[in-house]
């Protein structure tokens, strides 16, 4: 007999999309503000997709402020895509932010449902967690403030990499981790989070193959993280790199 919870799970993405649209649809009217002036409005590089290769090697493409230079090529590529779609009109930026937020909420549901040993109540708890993430006020800043998209984009890649790693999908995990690192350096914590998770998994379901640590994955992730550090130290001026890490962002739930 089909699992009614499995059938219900098909409705959750639509419910999350509806809730997010109702909560944040007014964000489509919001223009540029705060740091958007130097990261987007006056940044000539994000006005053309032709600059895509340069995003990966030139920290000057991040901003017109010398002290804020960094390497975030995936983030910049998303901004260039938005500019190609809507120019200086911000609606496409906000639409993409809402899609990213929806994906993050779906990933929270998937992770809580499948990886937290919640027993028969796992669907209800996971759905509640996803709905809280979907409408929590903490997420207003990265949704409405365009320059803060780095938090949204990194969250999607980070959660996706975590889920893929736990499921033993090595290639997907490494690729998503790499994309997260190329969006925001804070993603470097993922190998430690996975290591801690697998330590807990041994206590809960040591015989469950879904939660078994894939052989060789952590060393590969560690190598990717080390390469990311070297990449940034090589290309980003020391002063700008230090300044970039002094700027806080609203945490993602």
Q: How far apart are CA 72 and CA 245, in angstroms?
A: 13
Q: Where are the alpha helices (DSSP H) in 28-90?
A: 36, 52-55, 73-86
Give Cβ neighbours of residue 90 (< 8 Å, ≥ 6 apart): 30, 31, 32, 146
Q: What pLDDT is stored for residue 208 in this prediction?
A: 55
Residue 213 lies in a domain: yes
Residue 189 lies in a domain: yes
137 within 8 A of 89, measured Cβ to Cβ? no
Give Cβ neighbours of residue 84 (< 8 Å, ≥ 6 apart): 48, 49
Q: What pLDDT is stored for residue 179 in this prediction?
A: 97
Q: What pLDDT is stored for residue 192 in this prediction?
A: 94
Residue 216 lies in a domain: yes
Residue 249 lies in a domain: no
Q: How far apart are CA 144 and CA 30, in angstroms?
A: 7
164 within 8 A of 172, measured Cβ to Cβ? yes
Taking phi over 0 as left and psi of -120 to 50 as alpha, with beta for the rest, 252 belongs to beta
Q: What domain count does the chain have?
A: 1
Q: How far apart are CA 38 and CA 60, in angstroms?
A: 12
For 99, counting Cβ atoms within 10 Å of its Cβ (0-12 exposed, 13-18 middle, 19+ buried), the class is middle
Residue 252 lies in a domain: no
Q: Which domain holds residue 44?
A: 4-244
Residue 13 lies in a domain: yes
Q: If the chain, 253 residues long, is cut into consecutive pieces of 10 residues, what is the mean pLDDT of each piece?
A: 54 93 89 88 93 94 88 96 94 95 96 86 92 91 90 97 93 96 95 90 62 77 92 73 43 41
Q: What pLDDT is stored for residue 23 in this prediction?
A: 92
Residue 250 lies in a domain: no
Residue 253 lies in a domain: no
- Annotate 9-21 with DSSP letters as a single string: HTTHHHHHHHHHH
Closest CA to 153 of 187, 112, 127, 130: 187
Q: What pLDDT is stored for residue 213 in this prediction?
A: 67
CA-CA distances (angstroms) from residue 150 to 54, 62, 102, 168, 245? 18, 12, 15, 27, 13
Closest CA to 149 of 15, 35, 21, 20: 35
């Amino acid at each position: 007999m089909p699992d009614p919870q499995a059938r219900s799970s098909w409705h959750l993405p639509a419910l999350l999309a509806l809730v997010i649209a109702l909560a944040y649809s007014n964000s489509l009217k919001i223009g540029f503000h705060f740091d958007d002036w130097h990261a987007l409005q006056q940044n000539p590089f994000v006005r053309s997709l032709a600059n895509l290769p340069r995003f990966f090697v030139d920290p000057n493409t991040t901003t017109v402020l010398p002290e804020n230079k960094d390497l975030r090529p995936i983030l910049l590529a998303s901004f260039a895509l938005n500019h190609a779609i809507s120019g200086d009109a911000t609606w496409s930026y906000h639409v993409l932010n809402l899609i990213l937020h929806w994906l993050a909420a779906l990933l929270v549901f998937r992770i809580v449902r499948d990886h937290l040993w919640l027993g028969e109540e796992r669907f209800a708890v996971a759905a509640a967690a996803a709905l809280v993430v979907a409408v929590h006020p903490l997420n207003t800043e990265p949704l409405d403030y365009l320059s803060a998209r780095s938090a949204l984009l990194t969250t999607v890649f980070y959660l996706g990499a975590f889920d893929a790693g736990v499921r033993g999908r090595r290639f997907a995990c490494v690729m998503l981790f790499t994309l997260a690192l190329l969006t925001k350096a804070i993603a470097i914590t993922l190998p430690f989070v996975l290591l801690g998770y697998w330590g807990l998994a041994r206590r809960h379901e040591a015989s469950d193959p879904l939660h078994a640590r894939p052989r060789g994955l952590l060393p590969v992730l560690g190598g990717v993280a080390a390469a990311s550090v070297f990449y940034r130290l090589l290309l980003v001026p020391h002063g700008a790199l230090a300044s970039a890490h002094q700027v806080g962002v609203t945490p993602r739930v």
